[in-house]
Structure 1
Amino acid sequence: MTELAAPTGAYQYERQTVDPVTFEVIRHRLLAITDEQGAALAAVSGSPLVNEATDFNTGLYRAGGEVAAMGQTVIFHAASCSQMVKHVIADCEDDPGIGEGDVFVVNSPYKGALHAPDMGLLAPIFHDGERIAWTGAACHQLDVGGMVKGSFCSAATDVRQEAMLLPPMKLIDGGELRSDVWNMITGMSRLPMNLGLDMKGMLAANNVAQKRLGELIDRYGVDVVLSVMDELMDLSERRLRSRLRELPDGVFAARTYLDHDGHEDKLHPIEVTLTKTGDQLSFDYSASSPQARGFVNCTYTGLLAGVYAGVLPLLAHDLPWTEGIFRPIEVIAPPGLICSAEWPAPVSQGPLGAMWLTETTATEVLSKLVSTSPDHIVEAQASPSGGPDIFTVDGLNQHGEPATGVMLDQTMSGGGAYAHRDGLSPQGHRNIIAGKAPNVESLELIMPVLYLHRRLLADTPGAGRNRGGQSSGAAYMVHDVDSFRVLAACHGYTVPTAPGLWGGLPAATNVHRLYRDTDVRAKLAAGELVTEIDQLSVSEQLLSAKPPVFEFGHDDVYEWGPQGGGGWGDPLLRAPELVAADVRDDAVTVATARAAYGVVADADGTLDADATAALREEILTARRAWPAAQEPLTLDAAAGRTLAPVGDQLSIVELDGERYWACDCGSAFAHAHENPKLRLGTALAEPADLGTRVTFHAEIEVRRSACTSCGRLHFAEVARHDDPPLFDVRVEVA
């Protein structure tokens, strides 16, 4: 990507040394400003996407667009708002100029937005006539035009079909609203009132930031406040670099597959190689698929957003979230890939498509990196949900008003497991750190639906010594209207895109089902409480991952269930009593307890300890006989010294001056420079081996790799049939 030019009209200040107390006061005040921005946006907007899903962010930026402070909501926007500001500077500095009282609007994904519905309003901040900073707010709009209501355009082949596209342009000029621009923007939306309120909310957020920052400057002086901003960036950079130096150098890889691009059910690999050297990280996505024909691509901004969303919670959870976090990070992707799409590739589902999977792959490689450090492994996490479904309503609601919006149950997804505990049930999306579970009553109030159920779903988590978190699913029927139209679209229906770590199994695949011409109304009229689909007489209409817009009729029922989180560690190491409790609590079914965990239990959670011990020994015996691509070594690791852990079941050991991979059973089975999977026994898994809610694409397989000495499961790799084993951990130890 071409670097954007540095600003020419910025105030050149004198850096001050600020005492620690004043520094902390100003630092917290900057964060409080972003919180107040969010409160102002939510109060004015009224959109459920703002108030329920917290699908927005706010921030303060230095004169060149560098992140000085960011809100704690959707962290994808850490990259987006900053890139928008940089594009405003590059495009508008000379013509039409950037002046005091100006506000710029951007929604072009090729000019910094994540996709067109994520509109941003950016305002320069001046002091004594010179530009010192920027403030910005971005939030998801219910509709910004395009081929379909809601602006998720599954049939698009060109970004210009998806929405109005706003490059940086002035919405307010010197404090005066440009009504022509305002009217043009709202006139392109099918929901002009909603869009207008969102824009007014973002204006309010920016006004708050300008006022509060001005008050801060009046109290402490402009040079002191700017010094704190810049020192915060430097502080974040120093601390992250220090943390990176504590970790071993190495190369770590992850690969996943996006199924269905809106036109064809073909697989699009997204693959990253992370190289950690000293205090630098390099994320290389060059091996990913060329950009897709359909709307699942993301631009380079989306790629940055995905990587940053992986880095911030995992490596920088206790650091100030500023531009300094991003300075040690290099992100590589030649133009024209699914994660670095070139104009005019469609990208309207990019944040829920390629961008989402750049985040999960970034999280995976970073977790593999920190798993090589005893001090930092506690932060490693198996993958959270790898594919958020959408259910976009288009029609009139029960009040006769236009109802265009997204049902938000998909935010209630399970979290990935850790080395020390299970994943959260549900965790919510990892990149929406302030996300809230929307109330059923709130959604029924504004949408023409009636919930039949919303509940945690069994077998959504990935199995492991520590299992992933459960996701919540829901079922709806039409209420108080005859019908409405629906766009339903995601990925991960036939590819497990929430993998486990270190022998943990991937989570379930996504599920959505449409049942036509049911007798649900007759059942309800007869006083029967309907909570299960098998209570109904139905005709199921099979849905692809991205079906065309369909009519949701008066007697239809729609059911969906998102993925949970991936598991951690060999499932046979989970205590049988915990698995039995999972069965009793409807987190795991009897069938999955047996197939994935080797646990025999009744539906009420009663454990058969003897049958469990016999079954687990049978599974271990079978694993020890799995064939290996290369003959395993059989060296005694106990005779050497451990150089580095790799997760909590593997390590790199030194024996007689040579380095080897070792299982925690004490067997050194491969040279350290080799891909360990080649000397582990490997067998293909059937979908039922992973759980009752798993489906495989025709091109996909899951390879399980275990120690031939003890039967310990170390890897469960999702791959296309002809892909070589991924060499995903190469540790350099002194």
Structure 2
Amino acid sequence: MGVQTKSAAIDPITAQVIRGALENIAVEMGHKLARMSYSSIIRESEDFGCALLDADGQQLCESSHSTPLQSGPIPGYVRGIRRILEERGDTFRPGDVIMHNSPYHGASHGPDVGFCIPIFYKDELIGFSVTTAHHLDIGALTPGSCGIVDAVDAYAEGLQFKAIKVYEQGKKNEQVWHMLRDNIRASHMVVGDMEAQIAAARIGADRYLELIAKFGLEKVLAASEDLMNYSDTMLRNAIRNLPDGVYYAEGFLDGYLDSPDPERRDLKIAVTVTIEGSEITVDFTGTSRQVDDRPVNMPFEGTVDVAVYLTLRSILLDSTIYGNIPQNSGLTRAIKIVAPEGTLCNPTFPAPTIARFCSGNIVADTLMKALGQVVPRQISAGVGNLKVIAYSGLTNGNYWVYMDIMEGSYGGRFGMDGMDAVDTLYANTRNNPIEDIESHYPLRITRYELQDDVSAPGQWRGGIGSVREVQFLADGSFSVEGDGHKYAPWGFMGGIDGRVGQLLLTTAEGREENLPSKIPNRRAKAGDKLTMTGPCGGGYGDPKKRSPQQVLSDVLDGYVSKDTALRAYGVVISESDEIDEEATNQLRGAAQ
């Protein structure tokens, strides 16, 4: 197991200095990974994770500008790698670099490939430096690593890397790298990103050893344990302030709306939250059974647990109130997660999992809904889900692959309107600049804007989804992984439900076709356009309690029409764009 974490006392000032050093190491890893990467999904969207762990696999720090869905699973990656190596009679050695992406051994899903470097000090294993990142192709049945929504099992989702030593005791395993280049589309880009991950992980390992050389191993480990205990204490205190009890909510996924099989549609996520003292249990009993031959299932470790940890930490330890709580494994100790095997939240191998993203967003959204019964002022109303579109094609016999994250929106919150057109919950990626897309791929963005007059009414309105229109400049193909075309984001405390999303294909000849939220790889011709409309978050609170001045501001900004102001908010706005206070008071008084 290597060197164990020390429990020796350490003064708080030194602990905070070491904390800052650890966090800076992770930040440096992230910045350099982004700078060295080839693909826009890492370079622009920042869909990656970086973290340092101790010898027991406890996370000590993570890159602050990476996505929680990448950094959060890293302890699970290490646990899975360790388990596989032990089964093989192998172990960690100095100079090893281990590649891993098995969703049944801790990874979030197959395209999120991790590279793990064991860190040795005086011939003893003292920790791990790990990077994860989303890769745009891993050799699945069709191009792209998202939108493989018709995969029938784990084998159809692409190459499986189960604790593969790509470097063994410092020596590069050339045969593995030949296999990668021979089986991955756009291999120059993908393999280049993998090499960037290794370089960033080596930077983390080197910096960690430099930190130990400065402070000593025992002091660094003592500070790490102190920081984890602090995070644990803060979360437990927040849980202890909640009323004990059992709270239930459920949410629904579209699934495959065009499928004749009812087991693929209208999939339920059931969440029961039990609060007892300083501990909290999240139980998914009652969730729909796994879909055996479609990849909307979620790895229990790597996706479901991350959705739970992130949601609880964000709601119970809001950074505006508590400040910057150290992000480490201490934040998971007070939380127990239960999910029956064979369900969407705990599938059994070889059920496919590659399209687990939108499913996991509903897990987080439904957990938040349950918590609304306990902390109504700390949650948002229902969240609009995302779409992920994989574009691809051939140019002179070589593949190009691009992944576009179509953002969603948040519901309204107590005292604040929902955020418009943003990545949501456990993802936290950025959109790609239009200039970057059009300079690298045969695609043109012909429209990108917020929708008009669609925000869900509430005392605090729901966030607005965007409209994004992409035109093919050359023949190619696309596939879509999305959700939220049937079930609108929920309104809260009298707020109105949000709006569902939409996907429209307009051919070069002008024919239009409404598409469901999940589309397996489909050919497209030059001139074809995809118009993606994002869902709008739910409203929070009675719309009639929204101040007339806020309603007028929304009208002037073009978010709300005068008709909606009158009908939904009871606010009368004159032709000269002023509030008719007498008519508004009469209308609102009559409604009460």
- Corresponding residue for 1:311? 312
Q: 1:159: which partner in 2? A: 154
Partner of 2:404: 407
Counterpart contact for 1:461–1:564, Cα < 8 Å: yes
Per chain length, whose mean CA-contact separation is higher, i.e. which structure has more relative contact order (CA < 8 Å, sep 6+)? 2
Matches of 1:603 and 1:428, distance apart in 2: 37
Taking structure 1 as reference, are residues 13 and 511 closer, same or farther at Cα in structure 2, changes over 3 Å only?
Answer: closer
- Which residue is equivalent to 2:363? 358
Q: CA deviation at 1:471?
A: 2.6
The one-letter code of the counterpart of 1:214 is L
- The CA deviation at 1:257 is 0.7
Q: Deviations over 1:702-731 (max 9, x none)?
A: xxxxxxxx6xxxxxxxxxxxxxxxxxxxxx
Cα distance in 2 for residues equivalent to 1:197 and 1:297: 30
Instruction: Indicate how the Cα distance of structure 1 residues 322 and 38 shifts in structure 2: closer, same or farther if over 3 A, else same.
Output: same
The offset of 1:21, in angstroms, is: 2.0
Q: Could you tell me which residue of structure 1 aligns to residue 480 of structure 2?
A: 488
Between the aligned partners of 2:455 and 2:195, the Cα distance in structure 1 is 41
**Structure 2 CA distance for partners of 1:136 and 1:478, relative to 1, 3 Å:** same
How far does residue 609 in structure 1 lie from its aligned partner after superposition? 5.2
Match of 1:273 in 2: 272
Asked whether the equivalents of residues 444 and 471 of structure 2 are also in contact (C-alpha less than 8 Å), the reply is yes
1:167-208 deviation digits (Å, cap 9, x = unpaired)? 122121111111112222332211211121111111111111
Asked whether the 8 Å contact 2:390–2:403 carries over to 1, the reply is yes
In the alignment, which residue of structure 1 is the partner of 2:284? 285
CA deviations on 1:143-162 (whole Å, 9 max, x unpaired) are 00111111332222211111
The two structures have a TM-score, normalised by structure 1, of 0.75
Alignment match of 1:388 (pick from 366, 386, 389) = 386
Whether contact under 8 Å (2:502, 2:515) holds in the other structure is: no
Q: 1:590-648 deviations in whole A, cap 9, x for unaligned?
A: 55444533445579856555665565566x4xxxxxxxxxxxxxxxxxxxxxxxxxxxx
SS at match of 2:348: coil
Partner of 2:70: 77
TM-superposed CA distance for 1:581, in Å, is: 2.7
Q: Is the 8 A contact 1:67 1:78 kept in 2?
A: no
Q: Deviations over 1:296-326 (max 9, x none)?
A: 1111121102112212322233311111110
Q: Distance in 2 between matches of 1:345 and 1:263?
A: 21
Residues 15 and 224, structure 2, Cα contact 8 Å, conserved in 1: no
Residues 1:300 and 2:272 are matched in the alignment: no
Which structure would you say has the larger Rg?
Answer: 1
SS in 1 for 2:165: strand
CA distance in 2, matches of 1:460, 1:69: 40
Structure 2 distance, partners of 1:280, 1:431, is: 22
Deviation at 1:13, TM superposition (A): 5.8
Q: Does the CA-based 8 Å contact 2:467-2:531 persist in structure 1? A: yes
Change (3 A) 1:575 1:17: same
Q: Deviations over 1:399-430 (max 9, x none)?
A: 9863211123x13x333322111122344323
2:23 matches 1:24: no
Q: State how far apart, in whole Å, the 2-side matches of 1:603 and 1:50 are.
A: 49
2:523 — aligned with what? 551
- Bigger drift between 30-39 and 509-518 goes to 509-518
Stretch moving more, 440-449 or 137-146: 440-449
Q: Secondary structure at the match of 2:73?
A: helix
Specify which of 107, 110, 125 is matched with residue 116 of structure 1.
Answer: 110
Q: Name the aligned partner's letter for residue 141 of structure 2.
A: M
| Structure 1 partner of 2:464 | 470
Task: Supply the distance in 2 between the matched residues of 1:517 and 1:206 (Cα, whole angstroms).
Answer: 46
What RMSD in Å do the two structures reach over aligned CA positions?
2.3
Rounded Cα–Cα distance in structure 2 between residues aligned with 1:186 and 1:438: 26
Equivalences for residues 136-535 of structure 1 within 5 A: 136-151=130-145, 152-261=147-256, 264=259, 266-292=265-291, 293-301=293-301, 302-316=303-317, 317=319, 318=323, 319-351=325-357, 353-371=358-376, 377=377, 379-385=378-384, 387-396=385-394, 402-408=399-405, 410-411=406-407, 413-433=408-428, 435-479=429-473, 481=474, 483-496=475-488, 498-517=489-508
Question: Between the two proteins, what is the percent identity of the paired residues?
Answer: 28
Find the aligned partners of 1:153 and 1:426 in 2 and give their Cα distance.
Answer: 25
**Residues 14 and 404 (structure 1), Cα distance of their counterparts in 2 relative to 1, 3 Å cut:** closer
Output the CA distance in 1 between the equivalents of 2:373 and 2:491.
Answer: 11
Contact map agreement 2:570 2:587 (CA 8 A) in 1? yes
Q: Distance in 1 between matches of 2:229 and 2:346?
A: 29
Cα distance change on mapping 1:604 and 1:307 into 2, 3 Å: farther
Verify the 8 A CA contact 1:249 1:277 in the aligned structure 2: yes
Query: Structure 2: where are the runs of 5+ without partners?
Result: none
Q: Which deviates the most, 545-554 or 329-338?
A: 545-554
Offset at residue 290 of structure 1 (A): 0.5
Whole-angstrom distance in 1 between the partners of 2:98 and 2:390: 29
| CA distance in structure 1 between the aligned counterparts of 2:569 and 2:287, rounded to whole angstroms | 34
CA contact (8 A) 1:38 1:71 kept: yes
**Secondary structure class of the residue paired with 1:489:** strand
What is the identity, as a one-letter code, of the residue corresponding to 1:75?
Answer: P
Distance 2:258 2:168 in 1: 43
SS in 1 for 2:155: helix
Name the CA shift for 1:380/1:548 in 2 (closer, same or farther; >3 Å): closer
SS of the residue 1:165 aligns to: coil
**Cα shift at 1:355:** 1.4
Unaligned runs of at least 5 residues, structure 1: 1-8, 372-376, 519-537, 621-709, 711-734
For the residue of structure 1 that corresponds to 2:485, the secondary structure is coil
The partner residue of 1:97 within 91, 109, 116 is: 91
Distance 2:316 2:548 in 1: 33
Q: Tell me which amino acid in the other structure corresponds to 2:117.
A: A
TM-score (norm 2): 0.92
Distance change in 2, residues 1:561/1:369 (3 Å): same
